[in-house]
Chains A and B, each alone.
Chain A
Amino acid sequence: MKGTHLGEFQEVALLTILVLGDDAYGVSIKKEINKNIKRSISRGALHTALTRLEEKGFLKSRQGEANEERGGRPKRYYEVTNKGKEALHEAREMRDNLWDRIPSIRLELQYA
């Protein structure tokens, strides 16, 4: 299932975009990810991931307004497509499924 598989970082990116809603563009996505997963990611890595997701059809983007702060460059806003949402659900279901099948006793932390 190569086409629909989501990498961990890709999943995080998709979820972050959903969290941000209408305000999901390069700078804000990076900021949000850094805040939530407490890990410094590089702009390049994020960009690569977004490009891949767009190629797979999980994301779509549109050109936004330009503003002075960005040296006159337009923002590119990202939006999760239905296909992307499906993939997220799928990933979650798979995970939930696994969670459900684990007897709770095994999940207890053991300090022996």
Chain B
Amino acid sequence: MNKHNRPPLLFQHFLSWFCHEDYFEELQGDLEEKFYERVKSKGISKARWAYRKEVVKLFRPSVFKKIQFRYSNNTNMFKNYTLVAYRNLLRNKLFSTINIIGLAISMAVGLLAITFVSEIRSYDKFHEKADRIYRVFNNRTVVGKEPQAYASTSLLTGIKLKEEATSFDIIVPIYNGFNGNVKKDQNLFKLKGQFVGEDFFKLFSFPLLYGNPETALQEPNTTVLTEEFAMKIFSRKDVVGEVLEWGPYQFTITGVMQQPPGTSHIKFDAVASLKTYEIREDRSRLFNDWSVMWTSYVYVHLNTNASLEQAQADLDRLAEKENAKTEFQQINPGLEALTDIFPGDGKYNQIDTVMPKKNIDQIVILALIVLFSACFNYANLSVARSMKRAKEVGIRKVVGAKKASLFVQFISESIFVSLLALFIAFLLFKLIKPEFISLNLYTERTTTLNLTATNYLYFILFAVLIGVVSGVIPALLMTKLKTVNVLKGISGTRSHKGLNIRKVMIGLQFAFSMTFAILVILIQKQYHQALNFDLGYNTEDVVNITLSGKDTKLLQAEIAKVPGVKTISTSYFVNSTGVLNSDWAKIEENSDSVTIYNNWVNTDYLDNMGHQLLAGVNFDKDGPSDQMIVNEKLIEKYDLKSATEAVGKRVYFYDKYWTIVGVVKDFHYGTVYNELNPFAYLYDTSKEMYYMNVKIETSDILKTMAGMERAWKTVNPKNKFEAEYYSDSIKRMYTDLSSSMKTFGMLAIVAISISVLGLLGMAVFTAESRIKELTIRKVLGANVLNLLTLLSKSFLVIFIIAVVISIPISLQLFKSQIASNIEYQIQIGFWELSSGALLVLIIAFFTIGSQSIKAAKTNPAESLRND
């Protein structure tokens, strides 16, 4: 019989694929019988066709394999899985706790990342026209320098585009300058806002509660407030027609808009009509000059029939014309989509804080690292535990469980655990949310981490995903167990091949943990050093009061009367808090210009702050307003032989001549980020002072503070009393250090706890799988210490590798990422580097030790009696 005498093979396969096993033999037989009959009567090809036709006609539900038949006890089975999962959780409370907590910690980080990323990605998506709104940005190239991208562009660009370009139907110029205070009935309200073109509400979806969006910003001196700002000023919302004062101008309120969502990259309390500026002649350069591009922005809406290329061509034509007018710089505008603005690619001059894309990537990567470790831990622990459950698997298999159903069981178990962990993770998330937001400047200004319905959906999907990812390896391992082996008591899970991957993973986890721990210690040390830096003068017990202008003398007299106040001085700004002032200066005989940093102070300042005079005298109160006291660096810079030689020299500085009357010992007027340079204290009675430095010596600081506030109120009843300890001002300066300390601290805690949990799992796994060996050794005379060394030996290698990896990496990270611009870095020695690693090591050895001792202490009869 050759191939062609047979029924079509494909259709035979098809039949066997869909046909129920119980009927297959019979039907197949019938078909073949009929087939051969037809071959005889009608010929081979007709018979083959008839066969095909009959197979297709058999394709009916009653003949199908009964899928639902095989799994008919579905619900019962799932009930049983849940019950078994629940019992398993209860039976081994330690493991369950480790698993759930480990997952919860990392999932909390995951939840943060999800909320964070989805919030960042939702920026500006609420604008109905978002897909066709673009912002004009400027690429500015100063001759001989690299081009730089600015988010801003000149207002002239907007005007010219309106006149000449054909690709845009709405053009909205924005001038970022409606800031400061507005006044209403003598009350001041801090304002942040922009001057915007009249089509602002046509372009952007900021619905108005009151007022007409078409005409609200057509007239000069009109403003539209946000709901919240209106409530703040008037305690009501329908305030159209009211008048606000802003500097010398009066603004009529023409509308109130619904509170804009937090996910707008333009943030404001109010917007005012740009017309207000247009009619003021002294601002004309703002509108006429192509190169005045620093605080103005142009947003455009692309015509429905215009392409991005056409629009760019419009801009290029304009640029060509305007660039021809100047020589030293080229400005080439481009377009970026509204939705691409946030998160940003690092353009200068953003209208508001824009989160760099880099930040988001970092957070996502760190979250993934943490999550991956936690999933791995779950897998590791489950595998370790699987020896205990092998019998269950065996029995299930004997009773008739298929591989697929066992797989489903273990996956659903891990999903069950991860859903449990989700609850705890959610609580943790709530707990660390404020910490995360205050992590750095960007998160503080741009994220709220408010949860939306979609976020909750993501959370649940995320938990399920984590359940699947962490459950897949143990599930596969369990389903592979051989029934006979399991029931005979031969463990199939002791695979030494897998152990190597696990060791690598443990090693990696520990390398991460140690890196984070070392970084925290380094940053903490740097932070500590920055705070306790010997500045070269005395800031202890000094409170700086922010002055509000007039009556400084009167205030000083009042504050001097407060008990506990020792000495008082005034200064233009507070040294060592990041504020710097400088100008070019020339000494008469020396033609070289040198940058001199400076501060203006009164005559009491040097004594008050404990500065050490090396030569000359302090400022003379009755002397002229051209006295200058310089530091040693200035002497060095000008190659003067000694401090005394400098006294009497005249310096041209801030457009006039000053006389050096004294020299002080070098001190740190800047921060640890700045190196020391020439510095001068200036005495100028015409200069307004902004700070009063009050040295306090009291046992009851609260009383003294209250006394000072009372004194302030008698002089300045309207303004708020603002005072801050000098040390607190310095501390505020180093928030970026403290925020990276927080970030890495958080990560270190997460990483260490996860890796320790993982290690614990490993230790239990090793101890359990070698329990017989251990007990036999014990019976033969090994003591606890012997067994401990035996068990920890394999881990020791892992740790040594982790230490070797983590030390150089953390050192490199610290030097290149964190302290790269710090002028006064800490000395990094053996202990700084090793203490973090040691800390992790000690925790790790405690973990292993506890398990090993437990294993070593069990009664040999317990584990050997069955053999």
Contact = CB atoms under 8 A, between A and B. Distances in A.
A16 B803 CA distance: 86
A104 interface: no
B33 A27 contact: yes
Contact of B32 (A30, A69, A76): A69
Interface residues of A, number: 18
Interface stretch (A2-10, A42-50, A80-88, A94-102): A42-50
B28 A71 contact: yes
Contacts of A43: 27, 30-31, 54, 57-58
Contact of B30 (A27, A42, A48, A51): A27
Interface in A1-47: 25-27, 30, 42-44, 47
B33 A70 contact: yes
Contacts of A73: 25-26, 28-29, 32
Interface of A: 25-27, 30, 42-44, 47-48, 51, 66, 69-71, 73-76
B29 A26 contact: yes
Contact of A71 (B23, B29, B57, B60): B29
Contacts of B32: 69-71, 73
B62 A44 contact: yes
B676 interface: no
B63 interface: yes
Interface of chain A, helix or strand or loop or mixed?
helix
Given A42-B54, A44-B62, 14 more contacts: A26-B30, A27-B33, A42-B57, A43-B31, A43-B58, A44-B59, A47-B27, A48-B63, A51-B23, A66-B29, A69-B37, A70-B33, A73-B25, A74-B29
A51 B63 CA distance: 9
Contacts of A75: 26, 29
A27 B63 CA distance: 17
Interface core residue of B33, B60, B62 (most chain A CB under 10 Å) = B33
Contacts of B62: 44, 47-48, 51
Contacts of B29: 26, 66, 70-71, 73-76
B36 interface: yes
- 10 shortest interchain CB distances as A-B pairs: A73-B29, A26-B30, A71-B32, A70-B29, A48-B62, A76-B26, A44-B58, A70-B33, A44-B60, A70-B32
B815 interface: no
B34 interface: yes
Contacts of B57: 42-44
Interface string B41-85: 000000000000010011110110000000000000000000000
Interface core residue of A25, A66, A69, A71 (most chain B CB under 10 Å) = A71
A35 to B, nearest CB: 15
A43 B691 CA distance: 102
Interface of chain B, helix or strand or loop or mixed?
helix
Nearest to B58: A44
Contacts of B31: 43
10 contacts: A27-B34, A27-B37, A42-B57, A43-B54, A43-B58, A47-B23, A47-B63, A70-B32, A71-B32, A76-B25
Contacts of A27: 30, 33-34, 37
A42 B36 CA distance: 18
A83 B261 CA distance: 77
Nearest to B7: A71
B620 to A, nearest CB: 117
A43 B35 CA distance: 13
Interface in B1-20: 7
B28 to A, nearest CB: 5
Given A44-B62, A48-B62, A26 B27 contact: yes
Nearest to B35: A71
Q: Give the bracket for the number of chain B residues in contact with chain A.
A: 20 to 34
Interface core residue of B29, B58, B60, B62 (most chain A CB under 10 Å) = B29
A51 B23 CA distance: 9
B486 to A, nearest CB: 36
A74 to B, nearest CB: 6
Nearest to B62: A48
Contacts of A69: 32-33, 36-37
A70 B27 CA distance: 10
Interface core residue of A30, A66, A70 (most chain B CB under 10 Å) = A70
A48 B27 contact: no
Nearest to B23: A47
A65 to B, nearest CB: 11
Interface string B138-154: 00000000000000000
A90 to B, nearest CB: 25
Nearest to B28: A73
A44 B63 contact: yes
Contacts of A44: 57-60, 62-63
A76 B54 CA distance: 19
A42 B144 CA distance: 89
Contacts of B60: 44, 48
Contacts of B63: 44, 47-48
Contacts of A71: 7, 28-29, 32
A26 B26 contact: yes
A30 B30 CA distance: 10
Contacts of B7: 71
A66 B26 CA distance: 10
Interface string B808-845: 00000000000000000000000000000000000000
B58 A47 contact: yes
Contacts of B33: 27, 69-70
Contacts of B34: 27
A91 to B, nearest CB: 23
Interface in B391-439: none
A85 to B, nearest CB: 23
A44 B18 CA distance: 13
Contacts of A42: 54, 57
Contacts of B25: 73-74, 76
Contacts of A66: 29
Contacts of B28: 71, 73
Contacts of B54: 42-43
Nearest to B26: A76
A71 B24 CA distance: 13
A70 B12 CA distance: 13
Nearest to A52: B62
Nearest to A70: B29
A83 B374 CA distance: 64
Contacts of A70: 29-30, 32-33
A70 B34 CA distance: 8
Contacts of B30: 25-27, 30, 43, 70
A10 B26 CA distance: 19
B18 to A, nearest CB: 12
A43 B50 CA distance: 12
A46 to B, nearest CB: 9
A28 to B, nearest CB: 9
B81 to A, nearest CB: 31
A26 B58 CA distance: 13
A44 B30 CA distance: 11
Contacts of B58: 43-44, 47
A10 to B, nearest CB: 13
Contacts of A30: 30
A73 B54 CA distance: 17
